């Protein structure tokens, strides 16, 4: 089983990858023949998530989808960051109790 911090870190990494990919898609929106990137996510058996970037099959834009992906990835990033903060605070409290 994965620790809370490694699970949250994997979520941060995937959210960051999603932010980068959707920003790349938006930046290249007007490029002729551009094929969008997509992030494929997969849950890891021991906890956490992994991701890979691939290109969609056909050229075209999906600006609304990319904007939604930006918002979603931002929220996922913040949630995982908050998980790390809570874990840090809990460990600090535990150390205070033990001292």
pLDDT, position 1: 39
pLDDT, position 95: 74
Instruction: Tell me if 35 sits within 8 A of 56, measured CB to CB.
Output: yes
Residue 60 scores a pLDDT above 90? no
Question: Nearest-5° angle of CA 22, CA 27, CA 31?
Answer: 115
Instruction: Tell me if 8 sits within 8 A of 80, measured CB to CB.
Output: yes
pLDDT, position 46: 87
Instruction: Tell me if 59 sits within 8 A of 35, measured CB to CB.
Output: yes
């Amino acid at each position: 089983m994965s620790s809370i911090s490694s699970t949250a870190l994997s979520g941060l990494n995937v959210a960051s990858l999603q932010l980068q990919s959707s920003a790349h898609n938006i930046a290249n929106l007007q490029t002729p023949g551009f094929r969008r990137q997509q992030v494929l996510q997969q849950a890891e058996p021991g906890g956490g998530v992994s991701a890979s970037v691939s290109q969609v099959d056909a050229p075209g834009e999906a600006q609304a989808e990319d904007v939604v992906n930006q918002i979603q990835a931002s929220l996922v990033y913040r949630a995982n960051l908050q998980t790390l903060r809570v874990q840090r605070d809990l460990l600090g409290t535990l150390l205070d109790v033990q001292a």
